Chains A and B, each alone.
Chain A
Amino acid sequence: MLTKRIIACLDMDGGRVVKGVRFKNLRDAGDPAECAAAHARSGADEIVLLDITATSGNRNTLLDAVRSTAHSLFVPFTVGGGIRQLDDAAAVFDAGADKIAINSAAVRDPTLIGTIAGKFGSQAVVVAIDARKTGNGFEVYVSGGRVPTGRDAVEWAREATACGAGEILLTSMDRDGTQSGFDCGLVRAVAEAVSIPVIASGGAGSARDFIKVFRGGRADAALAASIFHFGLENISELKSELSDAGIPVRWPC
């Protein structure tokens, strides 16, 4: 049976893993390669590394981190942040990523999705969407959550799928880092609108939150960062709780 994936996310700034609340107040959480290996050992099904302050000036810092993280990691590894064109993606794949995540650049130019998918396959292209609740829906934000686009998240997810995206990584900005639970309404709206897997992100605080987003939110995978970094929730314990609740997970792994 296909299992629900638990994905550990490493937000990276200047070569270090950091974690903030609602995209602000960053705290240091360690070395990316060490964090990734530790998460994989404790049962993470995938690792995502996001360069949250990516600028063209620190591309080499990112590529070094990708190389050292990928070196002895044998679960799927996704890298995002600052990928603006095919060459940026190619460099990240070359450094050892299995998938890339694109966000702002895809909103600006949706054909980028197809360009990268055409060369590396749709399975390698994750479209990351940061969304915030509005009066009657969810609005897409870009540039690390700083710039509202006026676009509807469900519509954008549909378009990204049609352009060749392999998965959607959907972050609720309202819940990011709050540990108050995933936004199941947002996740379900997108999961029901697209044919590709949806990774829920933002708000993970307890095993109960994961159970809710897999059941009610219809998520295919769920991602968390802070709860894993600071040891609040061990991934193996989380999986054992999910398994007891009847959620199919890769456990033991």
Chain B
Amino acid sequence: MIALVDYGAGNLNSVKKALDYLGAEILVTDQPEILAAADRIVFPGVGHFSSLRALDRAGMGKALLQAASTGKPLLGICLGMQWLFEGSEECNDIAGAGIFPGKCRQFPSSVKSPHVGWNSVTAKEDSRLLRGIAQNSFVYYTHSFHAPLVAETTAATEYGLPFSGAVERGNIFGVQFHPEKSGDVGLSILKNFCEL
């Protein structure tokens, strides 16, 4: 069973719909004990970094980290991926999980913000999540803050500067783009996650 984390912000429907389409068994939850029982976890974040405050109130932040430490696959999407880093300039008084180093920052003023639309990713060949994804495939982004390039970056995208489109370390994965809105490419990535 895949636990889909609901922390009370935004719209989980699209992610749920895509996982349903792939035939996955999904449970939308705000309960820490469900995370402990799940085989894998998807954490789709949306909106402002400050909305992550709700995660800690419900004890979900701790439960996510605990579940991830047992080795089960965890996928953070969009704000969910940003949470895996140390924090974000968008809201300095909330700490991220710190699994990946560095802070999320705004785009340079040379480009329009938010970054909205289909952009290409250059994926590393050894990525487990992006297995089979052709170089320069297009994925759909919508975000105002970006995560830095780190040693664990598996896909880089360029928008005013290069940033992390996807990261992975062991059982922990993050994608800044929206695989649930990225057509066949996105569905392949979600399918890879379901089959890890």
On A, residues with C-beta under 8 Å from B are: 1-5, 40, 45, 70-72, 74-76, 93-94, 96, 98, 120-124, 166-167, 195-197, 220-221, 250, 253
Contacts and interface: CB of A to CB of B under 8 A. Distances in A.
Nearest to A249: B118
A250 B11 CA distance: 26
Q: Which of B21, B112, B158, B180 is most buried by chain A, counting CB atoms within 10 A of its CB?
A: B112
Nearest to B185: A253
Contact of A2 (B13, B119, B180, B186): B119
B113 A5 contact: no
19 contacts: A2-B159, A3-B118, A5-B117, A71-B17, A74-B21, A74-B182, A75-B181, A75-B183, A94-B13, A98-B181, A120-B11, A121-B9, A121-B46, A123-B142, A167-B116, A220-B117, A221-B117, A253-B118, A253-B185
A74 B187 contact: yes
B146 to A, nearest CB: 13
Contacts of A253: 118, 138, 183, 185
A221 B117 CA distance: 9
Interface residues of B, number: 34
A75 B140 contact: yes
A96 B17 contact: yes
Interface of B: 9-11, 13-14, 17-18, 21, 46-48, 112-120, 138, 140, 142-143, 158-159, 180-187
Nearest to B48: A121
Given A5-B118, A96-B13, 17 more contacts: A1-B158, A2-B119, A3-B117, A70-B13, A70-B17, A71-B17, A72-B21, A74-B182, A74-B187, A96-B17, A120-B10, A121-B47, A121-B48, A123-B114, A220-B117, A250-B138, A253-B138
A22 to B, nearest CB: 29
Contacts, number: 90
Contacts of A3: 117-120, 138
B114 A1 contact: no
Nearest to A45: B118
Contacts of A122: 114
B41 to A, nearest CB: 21
B28 to A, nearest CB: 13
Describe A's contact surface by its main secondary structure.
loop
Contacts of B48: 121
The 9 A-B residue pairs with the shortest CB-CB distance in the complex, in nearest-first order: A121-B47, A123-B142, A250-B138, A250-B118, A2-B119, A3-B118, A93-B11, A197-B116, A76-B181
A58 to B, nearest CB: 22
A94 B65 CA distance: 29
Contact of A74 (B11, B112, B181): B181
Contacts of B116: 123, 166-167, 196-197, 220
B59 to A, nearest CB: 23
Contact of A93 (B13, B113, B180): B13
A158 B184 CA distance: 36
Contacts of B114: 122-123, 166, 196-197
A41 to B, nearest CB: 10
